[in-house]
Each structure stands twice: as C-alpha cells, then as structure tokens.
C-alpha cells in the first residue's frame, strides 16, 4: 500500500514538473500583420486558415511543402492566408544568403516569384561554392524582374541579415527546431508528413462547409 502511494507521488511530481515547465516555457505561434510580414504573405488575412510557415530554402521538405500548399490554395482560393518566415538551418551554407535575397525581393513585390525560382533551382544552387552563389542569385533576381542595383544595396545592408536572424531567434522561442514548421491557426505542425495529414483534415473541413 505504501509503495503504491509512493509511486503515485512520484508520478504526480513527474507530471507536475512537466506541466509547470511547459507553462512557463512556450507561447503559441504569433502572426503579425506588420508591413514586413505582409510583404511575405498571400491570401486574405480574414481567411479561415492562417498558416505561418518557418522555412529554409535548402530544405527539400520545404520545397515539397511549398508545392502542396500552392496546390491547396489553387483548389481553395480565399480560404488560406499564408505567411512565410525564415529559419535558416545550420549546415545549409547558402540558405541565409537565399533568405536575404528573398527578403529583398519582397520589398519589390517579387517575393513569391523569386521564392519559386529558388525552389525550382534548388538542386542547381545548393551544391555551388560561396563564390558562385552571388552571381547565380543575381541571375535569378533578374529573371524574377528585380532591379539589379537596388536589390544589391538591400542585400549588402547588414540590417537585412539582422532581420532574418531575429526571426530565427523568435522562432526558437516558439519551439521551432527544424523546417518546415507551420503554425496553422496556432496549431504547431512539423515536417512534411504531419503537414500532409493536416491539409487532408483542412480539406475535409472545407468540404463539410460546402
């Protein structure tokens, strides 16, 4: 009897310490309609599904997630509001540079076109050397209709990189550890498999309402 009581106390201590740590540690993913965020968003802000994505341009799963979400938005126009934030991973050598260039593209209204180019050409620029990457991105930027001179000053501005690293720091505080990580109406979704399952359940929910 005494052993059962002690066991119960041990279990309660375990549960209590986990709940207390979680309570003080995490907050729910935050959406923002600030100017910077709106430059990297698409869809209606009042849409029933608000998706905040943390991504990395060298991550293959992010490319697949991008395709899935594009497809979902095509099938369900006006049902999704999609915001992108950067989470450049360690070990992906050109991903920060890609994020900086994409952020600069967003200031000229070309974010989505440039992002698509980055994903389409992922296999081409991923293995390149650091010296090759600048001219390659310049080429992509020009193809995306970006003014060459203006974008270069934005890329060289240390504040652009600072913005992205701050974004990553904020993401870590939300519990983001890898990419792609989504917050769909506040619910955290990590990885492509979970995202596929979530899109299926979102589709079912929309079909029910039709």
Partner 1 sequence: MKRFFVLALRVFLGAVFVVSGFSKLIEPFANFLAVIHSTRMATGLPAQLLAVGIPWAELILGAFLITGLWTRISSFSLWVLNTAFMAVITWALVSGLPMKECGCFGESFFSFSLRQALLFDALLWVFFYFLWLLDKPKHGVYTHR
By CB under 8 A, name the binding residues for partner 1: 3, 6-7, 10-11, 13-14, 17-18, 21-22, 25-26, 60, 91, 175, 177-178, 181, 188-191, 193-194, 197
The answer to whether 66 touches 119, Cβ cutoff 8 Å, is yes
Q: Phi, psi at residue 94, to the nearest 5°?
A: -105, 5
Long-range contacts, stretch 150-154, CB < 8 angstroms, 24+ apart = 150/108, 151/101, 151/104, 151/105, 151/108, 154/103, 154/104, 154/107
Question: What does the alpha-carbon distance between residue 180 and residue 84 come to, in Å, rounded to a whole number?
Answer: 10
Smaller CB separation from partner 1, 2 or 159: 2
Smaller CB separation from partner 1, 3 or 169: 3
What's the distance, CA 42 to chain centroid? 13
Shortest spacing between CB 64 and partner 1, in angstroms: 12
Smaller CB separation from partner 1, 16 or 109: 16
Smaller CB separation from partner 1, 91 or 149: 91
Question: What does the alpha-carbon distance between residue 39 and residue 181 come to, in Å, rounded to a whole number?
Answer: 20
Smaller CB separation from partner 1, 38 or 173: 173
């Amino acid at each position: 009897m005494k052993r059962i009581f002690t066991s119960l106390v041990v279990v309660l201590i375990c549960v209590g310490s986990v709940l207390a740590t979680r309570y003080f540690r995490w907050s729910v993913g935050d959406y923002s309609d600030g100017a910077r965020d709106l430059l990297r968003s698409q869809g209606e802000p009042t849409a029933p599904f608000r998706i905040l994505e943390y991504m990395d341009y060298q991550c293959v799963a992010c490319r697949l997630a991008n395709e899935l979400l594009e497809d979902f938005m095509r099938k369900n126009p006006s049902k999704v509001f999609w915001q992108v934030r950067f989470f450049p991973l360690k070990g992906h050598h050109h991903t920060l540079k890609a994020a900086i260039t994409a952020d600069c593209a967003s200031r000229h209204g070309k974010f989505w076109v440039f992002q698509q180019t980055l994903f389409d050409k992922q296999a081409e620029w991923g293995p390149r050397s650091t010296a090759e990457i600048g001219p390659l991105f310049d080429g992509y930027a020009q193809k995306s209709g970006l003014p060459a001179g203006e974008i270069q000053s934005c890329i060289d501005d240390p504040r652009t990189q600072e913005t992205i690293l701050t974004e990553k720091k904020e993401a870590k505080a939300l519990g983001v550890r890898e990419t792609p990580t989504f917050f769909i109406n506040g619910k955290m979704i990590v990885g492509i498999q979970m995202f596929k399952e979530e899109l299926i359940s979102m589709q079912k929910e929309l079909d029910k309402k039709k």
